[in-house]
Amino acid sequence: MYKSGNYNDAVAVFNSLGVQNVQVRSNGVITGKLPDGREVNVRNYSSGNSAPTL
């Protein structure tokens, strides 16, 4: 799913998901686990372009 917005918008969505065990990696990627155990991350870039990715 693609949604318009900037990095701060992506971080806000990340924070709204109830993520636990949040860590900020040395490369700036924020990672954590969803309540159901799946891992999720947010970063300020995408492999295909410069858009933030959740």
How many domains is the chain partitioned into structurally?
A: 1
Is residue 52 assigned to a domain?
Answer: no
Q: pTM for the whole thing?
A: 0.82
Q: Which domain holds residue 28?
A: 7-42
Kindly provide the b/e burial profile for residues 27-43, where b requires at least 16 CB atoms within 10 angstroms of the residue's own CB: eeebbbeeeeeeeeebb
Cα(47)–Cα(40) distance, integer angstroms: 16
Is residue 22 assigned to a domain?
Answer: yes
Is residue 47 assigned to a domain?
Answer: no
pLDDT in the model for residue 1:
64
Cα(53)–Cα(49) distance, integer angstroms: 10
Q: Kindly report, residue by residue over 1-50, the tens digit of the pLDDT.
A: 677 888 899 999 999 999 999 999 988 899 999 999 999 999 987 777 77
Is residue 2 assigned to a domain?
Answer: no
pLDDT in the model for residue 50:
72
